[in-house]
Amino acid sequence: MEISRRETLALGLGAAVLTMLPFRVNAAVEDSISAFTGGADIADGGVTLTAPEIAENGNTVPIEVSAPGAVAIAVFAAGNPTPGVVTFNFGPLAASQSASTRIRLAGTQDVIAVAKMADGSFAKASATVKVTIGGCGG
């Protein structure tokens, strides 16, 4: 088969589209967050997200979220094929608005916790968790 210059350009365009993929992933997490917030503004602060800086095992990463006064906290993994991880709902009798769980991360990425407050406002916190092959130590 002979590839013409025009076809080569088209191939190049395909490659460019492929390199755009990371942005699509970001868009996916934005879509997921919007679905939770209904597109409302999200303030920084008021949410504590505890996650390891480097995951010991990307398949089971312990995280903890806490947001005093929240009615719900949703957790998103920005780099996972499906960014939505979990939503914790807190009833009026909940003693504290905190929860911990373990999540699976496909690679190094940001984990984002978004809290819905009792007054309908939203707040978030995020942390970068590195997933590495490791192997050397002092």
Task: Note the residues at the interface with other proteins (CB under 8 A).
Answer: 50, 52-54, 56-57, 62, 100, 108, 128, 130, 132-138
Cα separation of 71 and 43, whole Å? Answer: 16
Two structure tokens written together for 62: 């312990």
Q: With respect to other proteins, which residue has the nearer C-beta, 33 or 47?
A: 47
Two structure tokens written together for 12: 């190049």
The least CB distance from residue 61 to other proteins, in Å, is 11
Q: Of 22, 70, 62, give the one whose Cα is nearest residue 43.
A: 70
The least CB distance from residue 135 to other proteins, in Å, is 5
Cα separation of 67 and 113, whole Å? Answer: 10
Q: With respect to other proteins, which residue has the nearer C-beta, 7 or 56?
A: 56
The least CB distance from residue 73 to other proteins, in Å, is 17
